[in-house]
Amino acid sequence: MMASSSSSSSLSNLSLQISILLLIFPLTFCKISSPNQEPLVFSLKTKNVPQSSSDKLSFRHNVTLTVSLSVGSPPQNISMVLDTGSELSWLHCKKAPNLGSVFNPVSSSSYSPIPCSSPICRTRTRDLPIPASCDSKTHLCHVAVSYADATSLEGSLAHEIFVIGSSARPGTIFGCMDSGLSSDSEEDAKTTGLMGMNRGSLSFVNQLGFSKFSYCISGSDSSGILLLGDASSSWPGPIQYTPLVSETTPLPYFDRVAYTVQLEGIRVGSKLLSLPKSMFVPDHTGAGQTMVDSGTQFTFLMGPVYSALKTEFMAQTKAVLKVVEDPNFVFQGTMDLCYRVGPLTRPNFSRLPVVSLMFRGAEMSVSGQKLLYRVNGAGLRGKDQVYCFTFGNSDLLGVEAFVIGHHHQQNVWMEFDLAKSRVGFGADVRCDQASQRLRSRN
């Protein structure tokens, strides 16, 4: 997800976040080789599953990627949105009418707020979009988060015991939020907070000590697999890697702890868009970086690149798709290419051209049903269904970046390798079968 701050930040539009529900049950570690520690392997599914003797969890990509775990002493059951686009993990710590779940720090003997004088407050918060400050009344380290959907939260940085499966992680750093404003009360009713998974010092994956994690989201039945740690020996398929882009100089619009890769071009069918590579390179302000973000549902391109893709896609599909002519119909305010489809039919997905995102050393192909998304056509005349192109305009989103969302990651093995500074794409993967195969191995 992306923060609304104009400084380095991750996309935080809660209405466009990855849709996955992840349910955790007591686990025991499985044996997959790792140079540092054994990884956690999660089988992911849409519904509650019986307790298992292996490190397997279930998820459904529907609204958000939600992890259920316990925190504190004695343990309190909570749920957190898993977000690869954020660093700071946080929990709601004060009851409110719209909150369905909160963490009560007063009831936990292991809860330990971090004072302003702590080196953690002074140095490890340096990559947060909103700098940490000192609360003059409590002398505690004060943190805040602000998102593009108008959600903003404030609270204190603290240590606590987080229990994931059978593994207790004492001293985990998080934000205990006791004030703020949310624009999505329905989402608040479902979750207790957010688990940040980017490259920052305070991200959950870095605090756990894992240098790699992977996931695979099914495009057919909402099942999949999530692995924390090095699971390369468990996945035999070929993976294309693209290096992460690093920027040592602080820039206004460059998120230095995001999973940033270099997009070099886009192909529609067999035609390469006639765009100079310079259009895909961040400028002197950092605007124009390409981020792989599980917290964003669709893919967003900078204005000129999006316009070129939109024009070419319309040209190649004019014989099979009927464009919605109403200029005021823009899905979620950011996706302005939509199509009318008869009330009893579906688009002919097989006749749509493949859109290929060409990265340095790797390629991601978007085809078939991943190109169009059925939306609510309320406000349009007639009974036609409405499908919108699953690429949007970053300019309309208010984000100065290219963002690769989770919808285009379906049936792609996604690997985030922090140790080797790269992101891997394993194409043409049946994620439901991958889940079954890894389940049978462990």
Q: What is the C-alpha to C-alpha distance for residues 385 and 387, in angstroms, rounded to an integer?
A: 7
Q: For residue 184, how many C-alpha atoms fall within 13 Å in the half-sphere facing its CB?
A: 21
Q: List alpha helices for 61-144, DSSP H.
A: 119-123
Active site members: 83, 293
Tell me the CB-side half-sphere exposure of residue 303, using CA atoms within 13 A. Answer: 7
Measured over the CA atoms of residue 206, residue 208, residue 214 and residue 215, the dihedral's sign is negative
DSSP class of residue 280 equals G
What residue has token string 């792989």? 292
Are 157 and 234 in contact by the 8 Å Cβ rule? The answer is no
Q: Kindly write down the DSSP assignment for every residue of 4-71, as one continuous string.
A: S-SSS--B--GGG----EEE-----------SSSPPEEEEE-SS-----SSS--EEE-SS--EEEEEE
Instruction: Read off the tokens for 164.
Output: 């994931």
DSSP state of 157: E
